[in-house]
Structure 1
Amino acid sequence: MNSTSQKISVFEKIGYSLGDLAANLVFQTLITYLAYFYTDIYGLKSTDASIIMLSVGLTAAFIFNPIIGVLADRTNSKWGKFRPWILYTAIPLGVVALLAFSTPDFSYKGKLIYAAVTYSLLLMLYASSNLPYSALSGVITGDMGERNSISSYRFVAVMFAQFFVQVFMLPIIIYAGHGDKAAGIETVMTWMAIVGTVMLLITFFTTRERIVPSIEQKSSIKDDLSDLMKNRPWLIMLGLTILVFITLAMKGGSYVYYFNNYVDKAALANFISPVIAGLSDLGINFFGSDPAAAGFGLFNAGGIIFMIVGISFSKKLADKYGKRDVYKYGLLAATFFVLIFIFFKPESVLLMFGSQILHGFFYGITIPVLWAMIADVADYSEWKTNRRATAIIFSAMMVGLKAGLSIGGALLTWILGLYGYIAKESAVAGQEIIQPHSVSEGARMLVSIYPSIPFLLGVGLLFFYVIDKKMEVKIEEDLKIRRKEKS
C-alpha cells in the first residue's frame, strides 16, 4: 500500500462530514417520513406502501449495493477510486430525491408505478453516492485514532441533518404549504436537494485518498466474494447493521403516528406551550398551533441534542475500551430507554421526553463507532488476505442499511394495517379520518416492544465479534509495517 501522512486537517474532516450531512437529508427523510408520506400525503394504502418499500428496498440492498461496491473498488481515475462517484451522482441524487417526494395527479395505478420507479431510482443513486462516500473513510487515512476522529466529525454532521428533518421539517412542510402537506413537502425537498448537491460537491473538492492499493495488487470478483464469506467480522457487521436499521426505520417512522394517535393532545400542548412561546419570541413561528406536529418536533429535538452529546464521548471511549465493547453496552442502554415506552400512559409526556433524551445520549455514543468498525473490518480483511477491497467491505453497511430500512419501513406500515390504520386513500372523500382505538395501541407497541427486539438481537451478535481493543492495535501496527515496506 502506498501511504503518505496519515494525519487529517480539520478542514478536510469538515469537508468530508458535509457529505454525510447531505446524504442524511435524504436518509433521515426516508426513515422519518416515507411511510407517512405514502399513506397520509401521497395516498397509498398501507399494504401497497409496505410492498413497495420492501420489494424495492431489498432489491436495492442485495443487487444495487454489491454491484456498486464491486465497480467502485475497480474504479481508477486521477481523483482516486471513490471521489469520482461522489462528483457524478451529486446532481442526479438531488433531482430524484425531489421527484420521489412529489405528488403528481395520476390514477391510483399510476401512483403505484410512479412511487416504485422513483423510489428505485432514489435508492440506486443513494447507493452510488453513499457507498463510495463511506468507503472513502477507509482510504483517507490508515490511522485508527484519526479514523475515530473523522467518524465523530461525520456524525455530528449527521445529527445536524437529523435535527432539521426530525424537528423542523414537519412544521415547515405545514407552514410552507399553508396547510397543504403535498405542496409543502415539494417546496422543502427542492431546497434540500439544492443544499445537498452543493455539500456533496464540497466533499469531493476537499478530500484526498491516501491509502492506495499497490499496482501489483490484483483480485477477481470471485476472490473478493470468497474473502467476504470467510470474513466472520464482516458477516456479523452485516447482520448487526440490518438489525439496527430495522429498529431505526420502525421506531423513527412510528413517532409521527404515536403523536397523532396515542399521546394526549391536551397534556402535550400544556407541556410544550412555554417552549413554543419562547420560540415565538425569537421569531420562530412555523411550529403553528398543531400540538402533535410541534410536540413531535420538540420530542425529536431533545433526543438529537443528547445524541450529539453522546457522540462527543464516543471517540474517547472507543480509544480507551475498543469499539466493540463501547458499541455493545451503549446499544444495550439505548434499548432500555426504547423498551420503557411500553409503560407510559398518553398523559406521561414528561416521561416520554425524558426517556427520549436518555435514549439519544446512549445511542449517540454508538453512532460513530458503527462506521469505524466497518473500516476496521476492511483492515482486518487486508491483514488476513494481503488484499484490500474497501468498497465491497463497506457494501455490508449499505446492504444492511437498505435491507434494514426496507424491512423496518415495511413492518411499520404492515403492523399499522394489522391494527386497523385508515390511510388517506381508504378514507371517505371530504370526511375527517377518525382512527379506531386499536391504532393507538399499535403506535405504542411500534415505539417500544417491536423496535427493541432487533436491537437486543444486535447486542447478542456482538458477543461473537472478534475485533476487540487488543486486536485493533495489532492490526494497525502490522499494516503500518507492511505499507511502509511497499511504499
Structure 2
Amino acid sequence: MSYKVSRSEKVSYAMAGLGQNILYALFSTQLFFFYTEIAHINPVTVGAIMAIAKVWDAFNDFIMGYIVDNTRTKWGKMRPYLLFTPLPIAVLTILLFTAPDFDYGLKIAYIITTYILWDMAYTACDIPYWGLSAALTDDIQEKNDIISFTRVMTMVGSAIGIIGVPMLIDALGADKQAFFIGAVVVSIVGCGLFSLSFFKTKERVTPPKEKIDFLKNFKLLLNKPFLLIMIASFVGFAHNMAEIVGAHFATYNLGDYGYFSILGGLLMGAVIIAIAITPLLHRRFSKRTIFVGANLFGVVMYIVMYFVGYRQLWLTCIFLFLSSLSLGFFTVLQTSIIADSVDYVEYKTGQRAEGVSFAGQTFITKFSSALSTFVAGLVLDAAGFVEGEKVQTAQALHGIWLLVTIVPAIAFFLSTIPMLFYDITKEKQQEFVNEIKIRKEGMINEEDLV
C-alpha cells in the first residue's frame, strides 16, 4: 500500500524549500559581487577561497550523509536536523554579508572562516531536507509530483532572492549597510519558513533497522543512475554562470545594478515554468529524453544570444529567458533522478541511502557554484577586470559576456553526454518499487509469525 501525503504537508515541505532558497539565492548570486565590490577583494582570490573550501566539502558533505543515514530518533532520521539548523544558518548568513574594517589579511581570514562555517551549516540542513523527499511517500508519481512542486517553490524562493532582495539592497543604496540589512531580512524570513520542514512533515518510508558502516555507506553511491547524474552535473558545473556574474553584467555591461532584478526575474520565470511542466512532459517522455532535449535547446539559445549581443536589451531579455528554460529542467531532473537512485540502491542492496545520496546533490550544487566563481574570477582577471572601478574596459566587458553566454553553452553540451547512457525508464522504476514493497511486506509477516 502506497503512503499518501496531505496537501498541507506538501505545501509546508515546499514552503520550507522556498525559504531555504531565498537564503541560497542571496549566497550564490550576491556573495561574489559583495566580496569584490564591497569588501574589495581580488576576484581570483575570492574564487580560490570558494574552490579550496570545496576540498573540505568533499569530506563534509558525505560525512553528513553518513550521519543522516545512521540517525534513528523518534522524529525519524532526517527531521531532527531540520529542527536545529535554521538558527545557525541565519546567524552565519548575516556574518557573511558583514564587511569588518580589517586589514586585507584579516579580511581574508574572516571570509574563509565564515564561508566554511556557513557551508557546513547549510550541508547539515540541505542533505536531510532533500533526503526527506524520498521518505515522504513510496508512490512514484506522487514523489515526482512532490519534487516538482517543491522545485517550483524553491525557484520562487530563488526568484525572491534574485529579484526582490537586490531591489531592497538597491533601494537602500547598494552599499555595505544595505547588504547587511538585506542579509538580516533574508535570514529571518528564510529560516522561519525552513522550520516548516520539521514541524509540518512526517517520514513514512522507514529505513532498515541496522546501521551502515561508513565505507559500505559510501559504496552505495557506486550505482549507475547516481553516477551518471553526478558526472553530468560535474562536467556541466558552469550551467549557472549567468547567476554568478549577473550582478557584474548588470552593473558594468548594462550600466545599472538595478537591471539585475529584471534579468533575474526573467531567468527565474523561465526556470519556474520549466520545472512546472516537467511532470507533464514526464507522462509522455523519459527523463533522459527531457534532459538531453532541454540541454541541447539551451546550447543553441546561449550561442545565438552571444552573437545577438546585449546592445538591445529586449533581445537580451528574450534569449536569457529562452536559454534559462534548460536550467529549470536540469534542476528538477537532477533531484528526481537522485531520488530514484535511492530506490534503485534499495532494490539492489536492501539499504536505503537518502543521506549519502543527497549529500552528492548538496556537494555538486555547492561545488558548481564555487568552481563557477573560480572560473569567473580567472576570466575576469584575464580580461582585465578591476574590482571597484566604475568603468571597465571593452575587453573586460567582453569577458563578462562570454561568462553569461558561451561558458553555459559549453556546460550544457558537456552535461548531455553522460545522460545518453541513462536507461532507467518509468516502467523499470516501478518494478524496483514493487519489489521493495513485496520484500518489506514479507519481513512484516515474518515478524508477526515470530
Q: Which residue of 1 aligns with 2:108?
A: 112
Distance in 2, Cα, partners of 1:324 & 1:395: 22
Asked if 2 retains the 8 angstrom alpha-carbon contact of 1:242 and 1:401, the reply is no
Asked if 2 retains the 8 angstrom alpha-carbon contact of 1:21 and 1:160, the reply is yes
Deviates more, 1:458-467 or 1:253-262: 253-262
Superposed displacement of residue 173, structure 1? 0.6
Superposed displacement of residue 417, structure 1? 0.6
Superposed displacement of residue 86, structure 1? 0.9
Gaps of 5+ in 2: 445-450
Distance in 2, Cα, partners of 1:235 & 1:36: 33
CA, structure 1 residues 484+119, in 2 after alignment: closer, same or farther (shift >3 Å)? same
Structure 2 residue matching 1:30: 3-state secondary structure = helix
Distance in 1, Cα, partners of 2:177 & 2:91: 17
Asked if 1 retains the 8 angstrom alpha-carbon contact of 2:208 and 2:352, the reply is no
Q: Which residue of 1 aligns with 2:89?
A: 93
Q: Which residue of 1 aligns with 2:53?
A: 56
1:336 aligns with 2:300: yes
Distance in 1, Cα, partners of 2:170 & 2:258: 11
1:212 aligns with 2:200: no
Distance in 2, Cα, partners of 1:326 & 1:482: 32
Superposed displacement of residue 456, structure 1? 1.0
Q: Which residue of 1 aligns with 2:419?
A: 462
Aligned Cα RMSD in Å?
Answer: 1.7
Distance in 1, Cα, partners of 2:252 & 2:174: 20
1:226 aligns with 2:219: yes
Asked if 2 retains the 8 angstrom alpha-carbon contact of 1:145 and 1:319, the reply is no
Q: Which residue of 2 aligns with 1:271?
A: none
Distance in 1, Cα, partners of 2:250 & 2:189: 29
Structure 1 residue matching 2:390: 3-state secondary structure = coil
Asked if 2 retains the 8 angstrom alpha-carbon contact of 1:342 and 1:448, the reply is yes
Q: Which residue of 2 aligns with 1:151?
A: 147
Give the AA of the match of 1:470.
E
Match of 2:25 among 22, 28, 32: 28
1:246 aligns with 2:238: yes
Distance in 2, Cα, partners of 1:435 & 1:378: 48
Match of 1:195 among 174, 183, 189: 189
Asked if 1 retains the 8 angstrom alpha-carbon contact of 2:244 and 2:369, the reply is no
Match of 1:392 among 356, 367, 375: 356
In the superposition, the TM-score normalised over structure 2's length comes to 0.94
CA deviation vs aligned residue, 1:199-248 (integer Å, no higher than 9, x gap): 12211011111111232x4432222222323x122221222223444321
Superposed displacement of residue 64, structure 1? 1.1
Gaps of 5+ in 1: 266-291, 425-431
Asked if 1 retains the 8 angstrom alpha-carbon contact of 2:298 and 2:409, the reply is no
Match of 2:250 among 246, 249, 259: 259
CA, structure 1 residues 16+369, in 2 after alignment: closer, same or farther (shift >3 Å)? same
CA, structure 1 residues 96+321, in 2 after alignment: closer, same or farther (shift >3 Å)? same
Structure 1 residue matching 2:85: 3-state secondary structure = helix
Give the AA of the match of 2:344.
Y
Superposed displacement of residue 320, structure 1? 2.8
Q: Which residue of 1 aligns with 2:396?
A: 439
CA deviation vs aligned residue, 1:50-99 (integer Å, no higher than 9, x gap): 21111113322x01101100001111111000100111111001110110
Q: How does 1:77-476 map to 2 (within 5 A)?
A: 77-176=73-172, 179-215=173-209, 217-229=210-222, 231-248=223-240, 250-263=241-254, 292-424=256-388, 433-476=390-433
Distance in 2, Cα, partners of 1:311 & 1:433: 37
CA deviation vs aligned residue, 1:83-124 (integer Å, no higher than 9, x gap): 001111110011101101111111111110000000000000
CA, structure 1 residues 192+73, in 2 after alignment: closer, same or farther (shift >3 Å)? same
Q: Which residue of 2 aligns with 1:41?
A: 38
Distance in 1, Cα, partners of 2:88 & 2:181: 18
Structure 2 residue matching 1:212: 3-state secondary structure = coil
In the superposition, the TM-score normalised over structure 1's length comes to 0.87
Asked if 1 retains the 8 angstrom alpha-carbon contact of 2:239 and 2:327, the reply is no
Asked if 1 retains the 8 angstrom alpha-carbon contact of 2:270 and 2:321, the reply is yes
CA deviation vs aligned residue, 1:392-419 (integer Å, no higher than 9, x gap): 1111111211211111111111211110
Deviates more, 1:314-323 or 1:400-409: 314-323
Give the AA of the match of 2:228.
I
Give the AA of the match of 2:253.
Y
Distance in 2, Cα, partners of 1:245 & 1:484: 42
Asked if 2 retains the 8 angstrom alpha-carbon contact of 1:72 and 1:81, the reply is yes
Structure 1 residue matching 2:385: 3-state secondary structure = coil
CA, structure 1 residues 329+483, in 2 after alignment: closer, same or farther (shift >3 Å)? farther
Superposed displacement of residue 44, structure 1? 0.5
Kindly tell me the number of residue pairs found equivalent between the two proteins: 444
Superposed displacement of residue 347, structure 1? 1.7
Give the AA of the match of 1:408.
S
Structure 2 residue matching 1:476: 3-state secondary structure = helix
Superposed displacement of residue 20, structure 1? 1.5
Distance in 2, Cα, partners of 1:382 & 1:91: 34
Distance in 1, Cα, partners of 2:284 & 2:436: 21
Asked if 1 retains the 8 angstrom alpha-carbon contact of 2:271 and 2:324, the reply is yes
Give the AA of the match of 1:326.
I
Asked if 2 retains the 8 angstrom alpha-carbon contact of 1:57 and 1:123, the reply is no
Superposed displacement of residue 470, structure 1? 3.1
CA deviation vs aligned residue, 1:255-291 (integer Å, no higher than 9, x gap): 222223334x5xxxxxxxxxxxxxxxxxxxxxxxxxx
Distance in 2, Cα, partners of 1:350 & 1:306: 15
Asked if 2 retains the 8 angstrom alpha-carbon contact of 1:173 and 1:188, the reply is yes
Superposed displacement of residue 150, structure 1? 0.8
Distance in 1, Cα, partners of 2:143 & 2:277: 15
CA, structure 1 residues 44+387, in 2 after alignment: closer, same or farther (shift >3 Å)? same
Asked if 2 retains the 8 angstrom alpha-carbon contact of 1:149 and 1:315, the reply is yes
Distance in 1, Cα, partners of 2:212 & 2:401: 50
Superposed displacement of residue 302, structure 1? 2.1
Asked if 1 retains the 8 angstrom alpha-carbon contact of 2:123 and 2:362, the reply is yes
CA, structure 1 residues 50+306, in 2 after alignment: closer, same or farther (shift >3 Å)? closer
Superposed displacement of residue 180, structure 1? 4.8
Structure 2 residue matching 1:260: 3-state secondary structure = helix
